[in-house]
């Protein structure tokens, strides 16, 4: 991966690889490892032992997965990887795969375990150093290892799973039937820490300040004296990308902010203020509200909204970029989950989960060379980097905002008047969440303008006005989310202010659906 953190950062010489066997928790495992200051990457499960030897990781983690190891076509790994002398920790499917490859038996059992289970440690081992003899763990399996050879030592058991943890007595191979990476396994972080330090010998040298310094050196080496263009959106990813570039190349950076008329209240002013006064960048603001509103006129279908917004953005950005002399590079705020899910990582999971807007850049005909300095980071790491670079906390911790902006929170037709209603409503929701001290505790909070009107009474007059829905969710990774249980008094203040202060709004509803089955955004 040219220009990646793996190539340049000496701290990442101490790295761990997560083999992805289709687990929904593969990214979570990588994040948990990084929380212990050990660099971690997710790789394909079918990498050869030779390739792994070249990458020289300190340790390997086999993820879980939905398949059964005894089924034809189930994902396998090169069994010679287990004999490289590199410590391996198999989790759930990963444990079953490792045990089967080394002579064990895996079968479907009648007593499946899904959810919380009570686990007893039956043999002392460095993996469980400092842990109680009995602990709660999180299980999710219908298969289990039912027999192992004499080369293995069982380490733990539950009431229905006699081999809940195991280690090979000659090879540094461990297995856990439960999931240490989820918060439902309270001692899971300690188990992973033991594996990283006591088994793999990691020292936890990966620090965000080291990443920042190395990234700045890489950017300077790649860019030389050329000019770089970076698109700003008001979101944390683009802001941190721009801040990192400014630290690296200063006046060689030009930023473009496309004001599409779909931004949050005062968002354009905040971006201009930060990147002209604080970072003093060459900032180009494209006033394009009329263009976007014309493109969205009469459109109500969500995907068509997104398509038209994307097309208009490319036109505006491209036209402005051609005005910037000597621009050779285009910087994007691509994150590691974007790279994984798009199948763009050279050693990453092979399957493309989705085509991501941040992977691939603008059309090739623009002739830019891409710079993606955040492509090795997760969202929480990007926020830490932003603080390290001196970005204000209100930008770093700002809640996520969809690429199409308020257009996908304005259900039905998008007009200037409806956007203004939504913008004011959204600002009130955020103000009250912050005033209650709940903004940092919630993952996302916003207003949605519904395409319906309802009857109401204001004063002595009958009204027929807009309805607004409030959406507030709690989430760690945005893959799943639960609705936030806001205090009634907070919801009451939001409702009162919306009806009193936002013209044409006479009804407020609170969205109490979780993801799944609902999504966080409404469109």
How many C-alpha atoms does 377 have within 13 Å on its Cβ side? 23
Sign of CA dihedral 185, 187, 191, 192: positive
Marked catalytic residue, from 41, 113, 181, 268? 181
Residue 474 neighbours by CB under 8 Å, 6+ apart: 441, 442, 443, 481, 482, 483, 484
Residue 313 Cα to chain centre, angstroms: 24
Number of separate helices (H) and strands (E) present in the chain: 15, 18
Cβ density class 354-392: b for 16+ within 10 Å, e for less? eebbbbebbeeeeebeebbbbbbbbbebbbbbbebbebe
Total residues found in the chain within this entry: 523
Instruction: Judge contact between 9 and 33, C-beta under 8 A.
Output: no
Catalytic (active site) residue 92: yes
Q: Tell me if residue 335 falls in helix, strand or coil.
A: coil
Question: To 10 degrees, the CA torsion angle through 484, 487, 492, 495?
Answer: -10
d(CA 337, CA 359): 10
Which DSSP state fits 377?
-
> Distance between CA 31 and CA 29 in Å, rounded?
5
Strand partners, 43: 19
Catalytic-residue membership of 278: no
Cβ count near 219 (within 10 Å): 22
- Measured between alpha carbons, how far is 256 from 457 in angstroms, rounded to an integer? 46
Catalytic choice (45, 141, 168, 179): 179
Both tokens assigned to 384: 């830490």
Dihedral of CA atoms 327, 328, 330, 336 in degrees, nearest 10, equals -150
In the residue annotation, 179 being an active-site residue is answered as: yes
How many whole angstroms separate alpha carbon 511 and alpha carbon 517? 13
Cβ atoms < 10 Å from Cβ of 85: 9
Closest CA to 231 of 205, 210, 250, 257: 257
Active-site residue identified among 92, 119, 230, 316: 92
Nearest C-alpha neighbor of 454 from the set 464, 441, 469: 464
Catalytically active residues, by annotation: 92, 179, 181
């Amino acid at each position: 991966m040219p220009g990646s953190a793996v190539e340049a950062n000496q701290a990442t010489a101490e790295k761990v690889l997560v083999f992805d066997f289709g687990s929904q928790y593969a990214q979570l495992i990588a994040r948990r490892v990084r929380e212990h200051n050990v660099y971690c990457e997710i790789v394909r499960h079918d990498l050869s032992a030779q390739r792994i030897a070249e990458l020289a990781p300190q340790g390997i983690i086999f993820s879980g997965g939905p398949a059964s190891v005894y089924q034809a076509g189930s994902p396998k790994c090169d069994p010679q990887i287990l004999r490289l002398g590199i410590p391996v920790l198999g989790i759930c499917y990963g444990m079953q795969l490792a045990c089967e490859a080394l002579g064990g038996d895996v079968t479907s059992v009648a007593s499946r375990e899904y959810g919380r289970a009570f686990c007893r440690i039956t043999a002392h081992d460095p993996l469980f150093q400092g842990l109680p003899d009995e602990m709660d763990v999180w299980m999710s399996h219908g298969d289990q290892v039912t027999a192992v050879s004499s080369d293995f030592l069982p380490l733990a058991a539950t009431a229905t799973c006699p081999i809940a943890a195991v280690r090979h007595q000659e090879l540094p191979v461990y297995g856990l039937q439960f999931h240490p990476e989820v918060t439902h396994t309270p001692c899971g972080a300690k188990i992973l820490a033991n594996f990283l330090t006591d088994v793999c010998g990691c020292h936890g040298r990966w620090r965000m300040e080291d990443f920042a310094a190395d990234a700045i050196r890489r950017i300077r080496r790649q860019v030389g004296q050329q000019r770089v263009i970076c698109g700003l959106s008001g979101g944390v990813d683009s802001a941190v990308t721009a801040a990192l570039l400014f630290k690296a190349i200063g006046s060689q950076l030009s930023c473009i902010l496309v004001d599409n008329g779909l931004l949050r209240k005062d968002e354009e002013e905040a971006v201009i203020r930060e990147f002209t006064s604080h970072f003093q960048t060459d900032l180009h603001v494209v006033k394009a509200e009329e263009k976007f509103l014309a493109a969205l006129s009469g459109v109500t279908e969500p995907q068509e909204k997104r398509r038209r917004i994307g097309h208009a953005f490319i036109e505006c950005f491209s036209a402005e970029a051609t005005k910037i002399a000597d621009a050779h590079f285009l910087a994007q705020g691509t994150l590691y989950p974007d790279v994984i899910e798009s199948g763009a990582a050279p050693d990453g999971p092979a399957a493309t989960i989705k085509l991501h807007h941040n992977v691939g850049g603008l059309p090739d005909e623009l002739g830019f060379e891409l710079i993606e300095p955040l492509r090795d980071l997760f969202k929480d790491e990007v926020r830490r980097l932003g603080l390290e670079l001196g970005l204000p906390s209100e930008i770093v911790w700002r809640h996520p905002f969809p690429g199409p902006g308020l257009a996908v929170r304005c259900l039905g037709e998008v007009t200037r008047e409806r956007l203004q209603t939504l913008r004011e409503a959204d600002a009130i929701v955020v103000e009250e969440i912050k005033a209650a001290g709940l903004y940092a505790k919630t993952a996302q909070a916003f207003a949605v303008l519904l395409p319906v009107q309802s009857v109401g009474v204001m004063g002595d007059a009958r009204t027929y006005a807009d309805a607004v829905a409030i959406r507030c969710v709690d989430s760690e990774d945005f893959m799943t989310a639960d609705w936030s249980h806001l205090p009634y008094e907070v919801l009451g203040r939001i409702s009162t202010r919306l009806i009193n202060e936002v013209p044409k709004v006479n009804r407020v509803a609170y969205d109490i659906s979780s993801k799944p089955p609902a999504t966080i955004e409404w469109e």
